[in-house]
Structure formats: C-alpha cells, structure tokens
A and B are shown apart, each in its own frame.
Chain A
Amino acid sequence: MPSGYVRESYESIPGNETNSPTLSTKKLFPPIQSVQPKLGAKPLSRDDELRNQDEPLPVITDAYEPSWEYKSRAYPDVTGWRLKHICGAPTTTVGNGIITDPDGVVIPTGAFRHVFKAPFGPSGASPLTTQMEAAYVDQGTFFRLKGCACAELGIETPEEGGASLSASGPANHMARIADPALSPAFETLSIRPFVRGNLTLAWLSGSGTSQDFSLSIANPVEAVRSLGIASKFPDIMEKSNEGPIVVSGSIPKRQLDPDDYDALLNATGFAATAKWVSDSIIATAYPYKLYVAMANCQYVDGDVDALQNQRRHGASFSWKSTTPSTGSTTITLVNATADYS
C-alpha cells in the first residue's frame, strides 16, 4: 500500500523562508490524485565567462522559484477549500431550515451555504496563501511549502471519472523537513465527488447542444524578492498587474447554432448558471450543491467546425464572466463544512 499525504492550512500572511504566519484552524488532508511540489532551482551558470576553459564550469546556488500543482476530484469539502484559496473567504451561513439556495430550496440544519461573490478577495496587496506539507512517506522524504498562492483553478466535468479540480501557483518557500509523523484523515468515499450526471447548464437562449463545459478561475499573482530578507527564495506574494480575478472557460457545442455565432459576433452578454447537484446527501434529503452563476457571460473566442462530409457540425466557444458594474460571478457551495477559517 503506497503511503503519502498532503496537509494544507491557510496562512494569515504569505509565508516565506523566515516568517511564521498564523495557520488556519481548519486543516485539510485533501484526497489528492496528485500534488507536485516544485523547487524551481535556478542555479547560477558561469559558462559565459572567458576563463580559457572549454568545459562547463561548476554551477552555484543562486535562486529558487518554487511552485505547486494539484489535482483531485471535486469533493464538496475540498471544492470549498480550493475556491476560498483563489477567491478569498466566502460568506458562510448556517443552514437552519429558513435560508435557501439559489434555487429557492430551503437549506436544512447540518448544511452550510458558502457564497463567493465577485469582486473576489482578499483585499490588500497579497492573495490568500496556504502552507502545504507533502509527505512522501514511503520514500522518507517530506516537504513544506509556504506562501502557496493559487494562480489558477480549473473545474472540469468529463463524461466519466468525476468532476476534477486542477490548481497551481507559485510559492515563496520549499523546504525538506523532518517527518511530521501525521496520520491523515479522509472523508469517507460515500461522500461522492460531483460528477457529469450532476451538472446542468442554463445558457444562452437558443444555444446549440452542449458537448462539454469547463470553468477556469485565473488569479494573477507573483512571488517576488523584495529584499526584505536575505534569501534565495521569494519573500512576498503579491497580486500582479495582469488584471482582476477572471472566471472564464470553454463550451464546445455539438451543433453549430446561429445564436451562438451571433453572440460571439456581437459580444452579447447573457446570464448563465452551471449547477452541480450531488448524489450524496448532507442532511434531511438535501444534497451537496455547487452553483456558478454569471450575470453577464460573453463569448470571447470561438471557431466553427470545418465544413466537410459529416452529418454533424459543431463549434467551440470560449467564454468569460464580465460585468458593467459589480457582481459578475457568484459561486454558491452548499456542503457540510461549517467554516473555512
């Protein structure tokens, strides 16, 4: 049996080589499919120096640009964790038999509604970061990454295999550590991930038959050396100048439809909602749910299939959630997690 685990905590401020941020109360052992910590070693090569030597010179340590990649299925608890990581803290309301979800269905006691509403946070110069411990138990090798920002989160819902969460981003520091000697704990497999059969779309009126739907949240961030500490690693994590957090995605269409083409041509805005309703129940017959509601979705790119000798011609469009004012995207997750702080 292979052994290994990842444990994550949110940080109060981006961690780096020397500081010790306060860690969140909530700790998570995500049921990963893979997590890859990357050191990003950038050794200093001096082969460009004229030393009358026709062989490579020894490299020396210079800089590190650590990063991380993550993939798991879209389990309800983990989905909330990753959404908070990239969007900032949600507004959480306790289910009480009175509050409702976006469909107007009453949320019972035992369930919790987490709403992530654009403009996404947190406020200030820095994105929310996590500390990640990656334990390669069988290899006796353990890493701790600090200041992990989430630059991109993708949600895909393939035909089979369950909805997936893919995330990645830069980190401020990566260290090999002693065995933290932890026993991971995972939610039971009976709490299912969202799957294709859970997903429904409310899309552009008259739109062609959808073939797939993917969603991506991009959060421009950068790890920089501010000269605040003497370190070969970055010391601060900042929001970068590449724009706001953007929710976008793609939607291949099985059938080419004039409404889709015209919407791309005219940059037509339309309200759209993707909704996942799980097979697993939280309480009182109420299932886990995830809504991504876009007030003004627009096609920003697209191609029709080549015209050829085939019975069905489709098209593929890229979309983006925008707004003329505020509230472009509202993500509502109802799960059994009381708090993500």
Chain B
Amino acid sequence: MATKRQGLRLNLPGAPNTPHTVPGTPGYYYPDAPTPVGDTGELSLEAARDLHKDKGCPLELVDIRAAEVEAAEELAAATAQQGRKGLIVAQRQGFSGAEGSRAKDEHDSSKGA
C-alpha cells in the first residue's frame, strides 16, 4: 500500500491559482493544488505541521489523494524551475524598495527544502 502523502496548500482567500511564496518557507504554494511535503528534497512533515498550526501563516496541511500525488510532484518541480527563470528575469529588470528581499525569499523558495 502506498504511503499517504500530504502537502501544503495556500490558504489565502481570493488568491489567484498561481504559485505563491511565503517568505521563510521553502517552496511554492497554490491555493488549488497542494505542494507535497515529507519526502526527499521537500519540506519536512514536521515543519509543515508547524506551519499548519501557525494561525498567521496562510498554509494548510492537507492529504493528497493517491491518484494526484504524481501530478502534484510534477507541478512542484515545474513550478520551482519556472520560479528560477522568473527570478532571472526579475533580476534583469532590477529591484527597488522591498523587492530585493522578496527576490531573496523567492530564491530560497526555488532551492526547495
């Protein structure tokens, strides 16, 4: 029997179904598709549980249905790659104000857990 997988989902009401970053937390998060946690190269399950318990954090830990695990893993990998590309473009455009720190956050996110 396959191990039950869990993932973190963005719980920010009204957010577009696009990848989001949460500064200080590696990875990208969608409101509609959970990002898998607990496996190699992913955020640890323990850290994910802590984020879920944090009421100020817009991430919730949810079960991923067995049939959707592979798709969730592929989406997470593709999003990280897309994020790295986006970061390069953003770096070319230059940063101002608080954008520099957000770029760093996103760089951390794209590196994974």
Is B56 within 8 A of A180, CB to CB? yes
Interface of A is mostly: loop
Is B20 within 8 A of A189, CB to CB? no
In the complex, whether B44 has a CB less than 8 A from a CB of chain A is no
Q: Which residues of A contact B21 (CB under 8 A)?
A: 185-186, 188
Q: From the candidates A1, A180, A335, name the one contacting B101 in the complex (CB within 8 A).
A: A1
Is B97 within 8 A of A185, CB to CB? no
Q: How distant is the Cα of A200 from the Cα of B56 in the complex, in angstroms?
A: 42
> Which residue on A lies nearest to B90, using beta carbons?
A189
Is A186 within 8 A of B86, CB to CB? no
Count of interface residues, chain A, beta-carbon cutoff 8 Å: 42
Give min CB distance, A285 to chain B, whole Å: 15
**A window 18-40: CB within 8 A of B:** 24-29, 31-34
Is A33 within 8 A of B17, CB to CB? no
Q: How distant is the Cα of A190 from the Cα of B82 in the complex, in angstroms?
A: 6
A-contact 0/1 string along B14-39, CB 8 Å cutoff: 11111111111100110000000000
Q: Which residues of A contact B13 (CB under 8 A)?
A: 25-27
Interface of B is mostly: mixed
Give min CB distance, A192 to chain B, whole Å: 7
In the complex, whether A110 has a CB less than 8 A from a CB of chain B is yes
**B window 74-113: CB within 8 A of A:** 79, 82-83, 85-87, 89-90, 93-94, 96-99, 101-106, 109
> Which residue on A lies nearest to B14, using beta carbons?
A26
Q: Which residues of B contact A184 (CB under 8 A)?
A: 22-23
Interface residues on B, range: 35 or more
Is A337 within 8 A of B94, CB to CB? no
With known contacts A25-B14, A32-B98, A185-B10, A1–B20 Cβ distance under 8 A: no
In the complex, whether A77 has a CB less than 8 A from a CB of chain B is yes
Is A27 within 8 A of B12, CB to CB? yes
Q: From the candidates A33, A183, A191, name the one contacting B18 in the complex (CB within 8 A).
A: A191
B-contact 0/1 string along A221-242, CB 8 Å cutoff: 0000000000000000000000
Show the binding face of A for B, using Cβ within 8 Å: 1-4, 24-29, 31-34, 71, 76-77, 110, 160-162, 180-192, 195, 335-341
Contacts A/B (CB < 8 Å), 8 sampled? A1-B105, A2-B98, A31-B99, A183-B24, A187-B15, A190-B85, A192-B86, A337-B14
Show the binding face of B for A, using Cβ within 8 Å: 10, 12-25, 28-29, 54-59, 79, 82-83, 85-87, 89-90, 93-94, 96-99, 101-106, 109
